[in-house]
A and B are shown apart, each in its own frame.
Chain A
Amino acid sequence: MADAQRHRSSAARPSLWNDPKARSIVFQTIAIVGVLLFFYYIFQNTLANMEQRGITTGFGFLNNEAGFGILMSLIPYDESNTYGRTFIVGLLNTVLVSFVGIIFATILGFIMGVARLSRNWLIAKLAAVYVDSLRNIPLLLQMFFWYIVVLQTLPGARQSYNFLDSFYLSNRGLNVPSPVFEAGSIGILIALVAGIIGAFVFHRWAHKQQDVSGKQYPVFLVSLGLIIGLPLIAYFVTGMPISWDVPVLGGFNFQGGITIIPEFMALLWALATYTGTFIAEIVRSGIQAVSHGQSEAAHALGLHNSPTLRLVVIPQALRVIIPPLTSQYLNLVKNSSLATAIGYPDLVGVFMGTSLNQTGQAIEIVAMTMAVYLALSLIISFLMNIYNARKALTER
C-alpha cells in the first residue's frame, strides 16, 4: 500500500526538464540575467561615449546659471536663474495648461456628448460634425492651425479687439484685468472657506434628514447662497478691498493686467477641442449604456425628467464614463507636451529642449522629464480611482 503510493507519487513527478516549476525558475533566471546583461552593455557604452564627448554625469548642472529667458512663468524668473528653476517653471506651465485644459475639455465634451443624443436633429448633426472632424485630425496640425492661421493673423496691439475697455484681443495675446488684493481681502478668503465648509455641512445634514424623515431640503440653492453670498457680504463689510488693474495701451503694447500669451491660448484651445471630441464620445456611449428601461421605470415611479436624469441615469452612466475619461485626462496631460512645437514654454520645451541643448545632459534631463510625466499620470489615476470607487456599484 505504502509502496504503491510512493510509486504513484514518483510516477506523477515529471523529469526535471519537464517540471513546470523547474522550467519557470530557469526561464526567469535567464530573463533576469539577459536584462541585466543588456543594461550593463548599454551602461558601458554610455560611459564610454560620454567620456569621449566630455560630458560629466550627475545633477550638478541643475545649480548652474541657465542664461536664457522664458516667455511665460508663474514664478519670478530671469536669465540669471538656475536650470533647476527652469525645470520648476516648465513643470508649472505644464501643470497649468493641463489643469485648465482638463476643465475646458470636460465641459465641452459633456455638452457635445449630450448634444449628439439630442432629439433636435440640427443640434445632433452639428455635434456629430464637430466630433467626427476634429477627432480625425492630428492634434499638432490643429495646434499649428489655431496658432498660425487664427491667432497670428489677429490685428496688432493698436487695432486689437476691445471688450468693455478692459479685455483686449490682439496678436500679442489676450489682455485681461488682474485683481489687486489690498488689506482686508483676507476676510473674503476666510468667508469663502467658511461658505464651502458650511455648504458641505448642510449637505450632510440634509442627507441625514432625508434618510430619517424623507423630507427634502433645497441643498443646491442653500450651498450656492453660502458659497457666493458669504464672500460677497465679506467683500462689502471689509470695504471693497479688491480693485482691478486694467490693461492700458501704451506705446506698442499693453501695460498692467494679465497677458495671456497666444501660445497658451492656441495650445489650450487645441487641447480642449481635441480632447473634447473623445470625451463627447465617451459621454454618449456612457448615456447609451444605461438601458432605456431604467428611465421608463423612473418615469413609472412618478419621477420627472430632471430627477430621472439626476438620480437614475447620470449615476449609472458615470460608472461607464469614468474609467475611459481618466485615460483621456492622462492623454491630455501627455499631449500638452506638443506645446514645444508652437513655442509655449512647457516642461518639454524649456527643459528637454533648451536646457538639454545647452548642457548636453541628455540622460539626466530625459529621465527627469519622463519621471515627471509618470508621476503626473500616477497622481491623476490615483485621484480618478478614488472618485471611481465612490461612484462604483455597491452591491448588497
Chain B
Amino acid sequence: MARTHTPLPDLPPPASTIGMVGWVRTNLLSTPLNVVLTLAAIYLLYISMPPLIGWAILDADFHGSSKDACTSSGACWVFIKARLDFFIYGFYPTSEYWRVNILYVLLAIIIVPQFISNFPRKSWIGIAGLTIFPVIAYILLAGGVFGLTSVETNKWGGLTLTLVISFVGIVAALPIGVLLALGRRSDMPVIRTMCVIFIEIWRGVPLISVLFMASVMLPLFLPEGVNFNKLLRALIGIVMFQSAYMAEVIRGGLQAIPKGQYEAADAMGLSYWKSMSLIILPQALKLVIPGIVNTFIALFKDTTLVLIIGLLDLLRTVQAAYESPEWPDVAAEGLIFAAFVFWIFCFSMSRYSQDLEKKLDTSHKN
C-alpha cells in the first residue's frame, strides 16, 4: 500500500515582508542609517514642500491681464499669460505670427514620429527635417519672396529664435563635424594636424569667448562693405564651436567600426569617399545618434549665452519682461517658466537618447 506524500500548503510569507509594510521595511527602514536618512528626507520635504506648493499653486494668481490682478501672496502667473506671445515670438510682427505657427506645426510633424517606434518611414521624415525643413523655415521666417513680407532678423526672438539657433547649429555642424572627424583619422599628416588643431582650439575655449570673437573680431576679418548681421555672426561662432564637439562624437563612432569593414570596402575597390559614404559613415552615424542628441541638448542649453552679445532669445525675452516697470517683482515666475520650457525640451530629448542607447546596445553585459 503505497502512501503518497502530500506536503501541506505553503504558509504565507510573514506579514512584515510583503505588501505595504514589507516595502517600507526593505526600502526605507532596512538599517539604522536608513531610518535616519529617511527621517531626514521626510523632514526636508516637510519644511520645503508646503510653502512651495502654496506659493506656486494654492496662493497663486492665474486670472487677469495686468500686475493689478496679482493680489494674493503667491506667484503671479498672470505675468506669463500676459507676455506669452512675447516669449514665443519676440518682436516678430503680430500679423505674421501664422508663419511661425506653421513652422511649429511642421516641427511637430517631424519630431513626433521619431518618438514612436515602428512609425513608417520615420528616418525619411527625420532626414527631410534636417535638409528640406531648414530651407522652408528660412523662407517662412525671413520672407521677402513669394509675396511674404520681409522680416528683419533683429525682430526674431523668444523661443523661436532659441529654436532657430539650436537647429541651425546642429544642422550645419553635422556635415562639418563629419569632415573634421574624417580629417582627424586621415593618413595625411597635414590634414590630420589641421583638423586636430581646429578641434582642440574650439573645444578648449568657452562658448562665450567664441561669441565675443564672432561679434567683435569677425567684422574686422571681412572685406570692406561686407557686413553680417548680429544673428549670422553668432550663428557662425556657434557652428564653428559645435562642429568641433560634433567631430569628437563622430570620431567615437568611426573608431567603433571594426577594421574589417574598412578593409572590406577597400577590397571591393571602392574609392575613399565611396567607402566612407556607403560603408563606414552609415554605420558610424547610427552608432552615435545618442551622442549627437546629447550634443544637441548641450547646444540647446548653450543658446542662452547669445543674450550676452545682445540677441533676444527666450531667456532674454523673459529677462526683458520682468525688468520692465509694468511688471515689478516677477523675476521668480519668469525664470521658473523659462526653466520649465527648457527642461521639457532637454528632458524629453535626454530620455529619447537613453531609449535609443538601450535599443542600439547589443552587448550582453547585464
Contacts and interface: CB of A to CB of B under 8 A. Distances in A.
A348 B220 contact: no
A164 interface: no
A45 B350 CA distance: 43
A149 B331 contact: yes
A123 B41 contact: yes
Contacts of A330: 204
B331 A366 contact: no
Interface string A122-139: 110010000011011111
Contacts, number: 147
A310 to B, nearest CB: 17
A120 B315 contact: no
A46 B223 CA distance: 8
A282 interface: no
Most buried by B among A45, A120, A121, A338: A120
Contacts of A22: none
A219 to B, nearest CB: 25
Contacts of B28: 120-122
Contact of B305 (A338, A370, A378): A338
A358 to B, nearest CB: 13
B221 interface: yes
A362 B332 CA distance: 36
Contacts of B220: 45-46, 49-50, 362-363
A194 interface: no
Nearest to A27: B188
A28 B335 contact: no
A37 interface: no
A69 B308 CA distance: 21
A111 B206 CA distance: 28
Nearest to A133: B343
Interface residues of A, number: 53
A50 B194 CA distance: 28
Interface in A91-149: 118-123, 126, 132-133, 135-142, 144-145, 148-149
B301 interface: yes
A46 B213 CA distance: 13
A145 B216 CA distance: 29
Interface in A313-338: 330, 334-335, 337-338
B346 A136 contact: yes
A46 B227 CA distance: 14
Interface in B273-296: none
B179 interface: no
A352 interface: yes
B131 interface: no
Interface string A35-59: 1000000100110111010000000
Contact of A28 (B191, B204, B208, B305): B191
A369 interface: yes
Given A137-B346, A149-B335, A337-B209, A35 B27 contact: no
Contacts of A42: 221
A233 interface: no
B335 A148 contact: yes
B267 interface: no
A28 B190 contact: yes
Given A121-B27, A136-B346, A363-B220, A149 B332 contact: yes
Contact of B342 (A122, A137, A337, A370): A137
A52 B223 CA distance: 12
B91 interface: no
A136 B338 CA distance: 12
A374 B37 contact: no
B347 interface: yes
Contacts of A28: 188-191
A180 B221 CA distance: 53
B209 A352 contact: yes
Contact of A145 (B26, B305, B339): B339
B204 A374 contact: yes
B232 to A, nearest CB: 17
Contacts of B34: 119-120
A150 B247 CA distance: 39
A254 interface: no
B59 to A, nearest CB: 17
Contacts of A133: 343
B335 A49 contact: no
Contacts of B65: none
A141 B336 CA distance: 9
B190 A32 contact: yes
Nearest to A336: B206
Interface string B198-233: 000100111111001100110111111000000000
A341 interface: yes
B77 to A, nearest CB: 15
Contacts of B190: 28, 31-32
Interface string B21-49: 00000111010001001100110100000
A141 B224 contact: no
Contacts of A337: 206, 208-209
A356 B216 contact: yes
B85 interface: no
Contacts of A137: 301, 339, 342-343, 346
B221 A122 contact: no
Contacts of A369: 209
A198 B44 CA distance: 42
Contact of B219 (A32, A49, A138, A352): A49
A216 interface: no
Contacts of B336: 145
A366 B208 contact: no
Given A31-B191, A149-B332, A366-B216, A141 B339 contact: yes
13 contacts: A24-B187, A27-B188, A28-B189, A31-B191, A45-B220, A126-B44, A136-B297, A136-B301, A136-B342, A139-B301, A140-B315, A142-B339, A366-B213
Given A123-B38, A137-B343, A334-B205, 10 more contacts: A24-B188, A49-B220, A122-B37, A123-B37, A139-B301, A144-B315, A144-B335, A338-B208, A340-B308, A366-B216
Top 3 closest pairs, chain A to chain B, by CB: A136-B346, A334-B206, A121-B27
Interface of B: 26-28, 30, 34, 37-38, 41-42, 44, 187-191, 194, 201, 204-209, 212-213, 216-217, 219-224, 297, 301-302, 304-305, 307-308, 315, 319, 331-332, 335-336, 338-339, 342-343, 346-347, 350
